[in-house]
Structure 1
């Protein structure tokens, strides 16, 4: 019996667009580009059938419902074979999707977000009772990381990593039943992020963009930041106020003293001024204004490296959103983006909501949580095709907007 799944992610309000009277984007052409690397015609055909089913079939997107409503007859075995067993690689399809999205809209950042697939059973790949940071509770689930292209037009997840719990390293029976590749092992979350980014940079040749991430529930943010810096990437990473730091010499009464992010912000606020920033919120399409505090920051791991023989780390900035009248900041970020360009940096933080909206739509409209299989390959195939369905909707929306603009409607 297949494990049943539900999917949970914060869901901001979904923007709507009045569609023109005739479609402006051709799904067969879109899928032809997306699946062009498939060597077999039947794989290309079933790819289009599955994407069309994710787009058009109401309710739960099962192989039976997709085949009956798209083809007019049952073809459950063929669809299950294509998704679960067919040996096509997800990476090239995701790369082509990413390039299509880069042409469809202007991406301004890459957003990395946790995705939680709550499960009732214990056999689906990667399932365990584990802590889901985005839900702030322990649940029986699969945990994944999605890397999305985000911009003022919205967001589309283009790359995926399934986070394997430690129990899946030890249980050969589970690994064998789910066909987990030998090289897939439990590893720190930051490694999954950097692997996904390397694929996007090296294999897909995407334009490097600032990376957005929520790291509030991670114990150590330094490995992620060092990895991003080594790749020459800008970042804006939200952290917990309890993140341990070393107080920089210019801000500390006792140089080298240890503290937390909130203590550093409070100390800096007593000895400096906050900057008022007005910016255009890309999500609400309104002007917003708040007070921000910026101060150089050294993590404790930076101090440990300073005591060694390696080169001294480059100081990073703490960016705290701290409006007057509040006893403490409402958000903390670590960034290597220029402090003098706060009016450009602050709106980047809001773009993560487009990734959350996209993931919510993928569940509600494009079957993200409807996968009935249990295998590692099948899971990756399904989330890739769900991303492709959302991507087609994005391409169609952008084409419709251009047509409405040209016709003056």
Structure 2
């Protein structure tokens, strides 16, 4: 992983930092790790390696992706984000924002991550730190105090506020530039509700399965835009589409069918717990309605409105719909149950976040710089990737705690 480092001292302290992350201990910030590392416990050297040393994390992530692609043999590339709770306001990009980590709006950082995943394992191979509008001097919502801290936090001048879905597309492009094949993109409703994200995946010719909210609208597969006559004066009229109804009202008209076992993809169930059966239904729709409204050219409107599978699922013997996903898989016309099971693969990432935060110290970084956070999450990903083959090759009895 550290072969791209140009200096031997960088390789040495990179290995020491990884050992500090892997050793037992409740806190994985620099000072507690230094105390556990014995002769290698140079706190100042470890702090300099993460916060000021000019090594490029992208080179390490590229080698990590190459290695884990061979180990995991991914069937999907999953995009998600997680929060890093903070008490003060000195860290780079900290702001009051919503995070699923706390389930509310609170003071935190937000990081977007990209994972290679299969039914057996997953690994994070790329990261982006989300910069809120309050930290962007060019934004009308800029906070002068936070904008003034950019230099002290080491935030590059060219970095501005970018939506999370755009960060996800940037990471997908970067991963493909490393030579990593992207078989399928999976994301939750936070990304699936963004029409620009779905359109970006379609422009890259990528299949996807993304969650959507129950208020997302879509047109039936047979819907076609009606072009009003042009009188020759003024702007050309926009194509008029039939009124789009919520997908929740459309899905289900064909009747529910057996879809599979809930939790079968997310991982092993707790001892004694039996898997629950779920039912699924699917409806063919032509692209998201909000995406089509932005397109003035009728030909372009037809091109961008890709036929999708709108799948909805519910637990057997219940009438409450539990989730809905949009699936674009033109090469493989799978059933609704397959699309929903593919969407459940995203829950492997929740396991990754829990392991990296509770065991490997993902959220224990106490530095305040942009580069330091980038270095720390990269090294935690390497430590997590080291543990993944151990878990795959060993039996559950060998990896169970004493």
Map 1:145-164 to 2 at 5 A.
145-164=112-131
In 2, distance between residues paired with 1:219 and 1:315?
Answer: 15
Q: Which runs of 5+ in 1 are unaligned?
A: 1-33, 405-409
8 Å Cα contact 2:282/2:336 also seen in 1: no
Question: Could you say which structure has the greater relative contact order, defined with CA pairs below 8 angstroms and 6 or more residues apart?
Answer: 1
Q: Deviations over 1:99-121 (max 9, x none)?
A: 11112222221111111111100
In 2, distance between residues paired with 1:182 and 1:301?
Answer: 34
Structure 2 equivalent of residue 276 of structure 1: 258
8 Å Cα contact 1:239/1:332 also seen in 2: yes
Q: Match of 1:146, SS?
A: strand
Q: Deviations over 1:18-45 (max 9, x none)?
A: xxxxxxxxxxxxxxxx000101000000
In 1, distance between residues paired with 2:223 and 2:158?
Answer: 46
Task: Report the Cα offset of residue 153 of structure 1.
Answer: 2.1
Structure 2 equivalent of residue 63 of structure 1: 30
Match of 1:303 among 275, 283, 292: 292
In 2, distance between residues paired with 1:291 and 1:333?
Answer: 14
In 1, distance between residues paired with 2:15 and 2:366?
Answer: 19
In 2, distance between residues paired with 1:130 and 1:165?
Answer: 9
Task: Report the Cα offset of residue 296 of structure 1.
Answer: 2.1
Structure 1 equivalent of residue 357 of structure 2: 363
8 Å Cα contact 1:249/1:256 also seen in 2: no
In 2, distance between residues paired with 1:382 and 1:263?
Answer: 46
Q: What RMSD in Å do the two structures reach over aligned CA positions?
A: 2.7
Q: Does 1:258 align with 2:244?
A: yes
Distance verdict in 2 for CA 1:248–1:397, change over 3 Å: closer
Q: Which runs of 5+ in 2 are unaligned?
A: 138-145, 225-240
Match of 2:52 among 81, 85, 90: 85
Structure 1 equivalent of residue 313 of structure 2: 321
Distance verdict in 2 for CA 1:219–1:35, change over 3 Å: closer
Q: Does 1:76 align with 2:80?
A: no
Match of 1:124 among 87, 91, 100: 91
Structure 2 equivalent of residue 214 of structure 1: 188
8 Å Cα contact 1:247/1:257 also seen in 2: no
Q: Deviations over 1:118-140 (max 9, x none)?
A: 11000101100112256542111
8 Å Cα contact 1:101/1:395 also seen in 2: no
Distance verdict in 2 for CA 1:210–1:195, change over 3 Å: same
Structure 2 equivalent of residue 165 of structure 1: 132
Task: Report the Cα offset of residue 92 of structure 1.
Answer: 1.0
Task: Report the Cα offset of residue 276 of structure 1.
Answer: 2.2
In the alignment of these two chains, the number of paired residues is: 363
8 Å Cα contact 1:279/1:343 also seen in 2: no
Match of 2:197 among 217, 221, 224: 224
